[in-house]
Amino acid sequence: MEDRDMKFDTLAIHAAEQHDQNQSLNSPIYMTSTFTFTDLQQADDTFSFKRRAYVYTRGGNPTINLFEQRMAALEGGADGVAFASGMAAITSVIMSFAKSGDEIIAHRNLYGSAFGTLKHLLPDYGVRTKFVNMTVPEELKEAITENSKVFYLETPTNPSMEIIDLETVVKIASKAGIKVVVDNTFASPYLQRPLEYGVDVVVHSATKYISGHGDAVGGVAVSKDQDYINKLKFGYMCELGGVMSPFNAWLLLRGLKTLPLRMERHASNARKIAHFLVKHPLVERVMYPGLESHPGHEIARKQMKDFGGIVSFDLKGNLERAKSFVENLKLLKLAVSLGDAETLVEIPALMTHRDYLEEELIKFGFLKKTIRISAGLEHPDDIIADIKQALEKVS
């Protein structure tokens, strides 16, 4: 049976399967830095691309390659490139499209390290970024100049849970000859496949939902353009050295096998948390696209299978009340990251999004007191009971 004939749930387990001589059910972990040749002719054939083989794990490894191909199958791409982290994937992809003098247009609300890279690091190399509200197409169009080379965005966004219409963004980009890069970490390929809307490259922090167990760090980029993937792998990943460990690739392959089941539970739990919070008298605002009151609800319904596992919200009162709430939780864990089996909670402005200046927070869609919950896989009644008791203590 060909991969193209399989459903997502089957692809997550079987796509691009490799068969080793011992017929192991799970692909072996090739924990080797170097691969050998039988003679110089074989080496020459390999280096001249007459023979497809492995040379050195920084440039290719069977375990890593399987993860890349499986992610490509799930995203609907031609191939992928694995990286040591999500940020390695993001920075490499952006550098592959933008050079000194070029401009990036990014959505106003991004993961803290992505925002920091675009605002503070890349200007040192002559690449500037404009931050706009991509939920307003006219604002995006007005930001374009002859130097604009990349649109960079997340949807849903971290932590404001804003929804950006991918079809609209791609249409605007196509007319201007601009590449579109989408971070699909919050949705995962199970809930959203941006390449189907014409997006050029999808990136993930595979540490999150792809892993699902909080035990592996990694990133991946996927595209429908095989030539671009070759350029990204050998011109950027290899040269900059952000290579994934074969062991982490194996852990991520394990995570992919249960991705559909986990995403359904994450989304179901998040929905129940959001509906509980929206009715609570101490809650000022809930940011979850599954709520009909969310401004991006209809767009999310159109381009997502479900609404994801993240809920952000503001309590009435000040930052001190938000701090007291998270410190009174017992079951929920105070931690960065998301997508794990455990339900995690954080205050982004104090943790993952410290690169945003205080005056930028409101402009970019969230507050200093905004709380973000990554719904885990526990029973929803237990998660909500813990939230309820913490709210009672700060009432």
DSSP 3-state assignment of 395?
A: coil
DSSP 3-state assignment of 84?
A: coil
Q: How many CB atoms lie within 10 A of CB 178?
A: 20
| Structure tokens, 68 | 């890349």
How far apart CA 27 and CA 67 sit, in angstroms, is 10
| Structure tokens, 83 | 């990286």
Cα-based torsion angle of the residue sequence 228, 232, 233, 235 in order, rounded to the nearest 10 degrees: 110
Range list of H helices, 258-377: 259-278, 297-303, 319-327, 358-363
Q: Which of 208, 262, 265, 372 is labelled catalytic?
A: 208
Q: Which of 3, 58, 225, 257 is labelled catalytic?
A: 58
Range list of H helices, 328-395: 358-363, 380-394
The C-alpha angle 164, 177, 232, rounded to 5 degrees, equals 85
Q: Is 58 a catalytic residue?
A: yes
Q: Is 111 a catalytic residue?
A: yes
Is the separation of the CB atoms in 250 and 269 below 8 Å? no
Question: For residue 158, what is the enclosing H or E element?
Answer: none
The C-alpha angle 221, 296, 313, rounded to 5 degrees, equals 90
Cα-based torsion angle of the residue sequence 42, 243, 260, 151 in order, rounded to the nearest 10 degrees: -110
Nearest to 217, CA basis, from 187, 244, 250:
244
Q: How many CB atoms lie within 10 A of CB 294?
A: 20
| Structure tokens, 5 | 């004939």
Q: Which of 79, 165, 183, 386 is labelled catalytic?
A: 183
Q: Which of 111, 152, 190, 209 is labelled catalytic?
A: 111
* Residues designated as active site: 58, 111, 183, 208
